[in-house]
Each structure stands twice: as C-alpha cells, then as structure tokens.
Amino acid sequence: MRDRVFMLQTRTTGEPIVVLKAWPADGAALREAYQEITPGYHMNKKHWITLNPGEKIDAQLVEDLVTESYLLVLEQNVPKNRWPVDPSTFGKGRGQ
C-alpha cells in the first residue's frame, strides 16, 4: 500500500503470527480480552499488536483486525488523492 506497512506475517517465533497496527486504546483492550493478542513483535508496542495462534482467534476477528489496520495506516499516512481504495466501501460487497 503505497510504501506503508499495515500487516506482517511470519513464523519467526516458530509459530505463525500476524502483526497489525491498532489504535493504542484498542490494542490495550484487545490484549486484555485475548491472551493470544500480545504487543507487536519487534514493532512499537504502543501502536502494534501480535495475533498468536489460539482458540479465541477466529477468522472473522483476524479479518476485522486486518481491515482496521489497513484503514488506520491508509488514513494516517497516505494523502487521500493517493488512496488505492475508498475506505467507505473497502471490504463491502461480499454479501454485507
């Protein structure tokens, strides 16, 4: 996305993990609610979270958090005239 990172996926820790950007308050709430969500692996711990494998991490939660991370990075770092998608319609159209 226009030279910006919104998601990292790796097996560096031995298990598959996903690192995503999050608003600090949202990241803190997610870390409290899910033991599988920890501070961002090798990233700013205030602004990034890591999704670790676990029973409470389902596909819908991952999709929602990836979408939120994408929109957060897009809206904060890319001038509107360079947005690759319209955030108001991003992720819609698949039966929503």
What does the pLDDT read at residue 50? 94
pLDDT tens for 16-37 read 999 999 999 999 999 999 999 9
Q: What is the pLDDT of residue 33?
A: 95
Q: For residue 26, with 0-12 CB atoms within 10 Å meaning exposed, 13-18 middle and 19 or more buried, which class applies?
A: middle
Share the mean pLDDT of the chain: 84
Strand spans (E) along 1-96: 7-10, 17-21, 37-39, 48-51
Whole-number Å distance between alpha carbons of 82 and 2: 8
Bridge partners, 37 (sequence order): 51
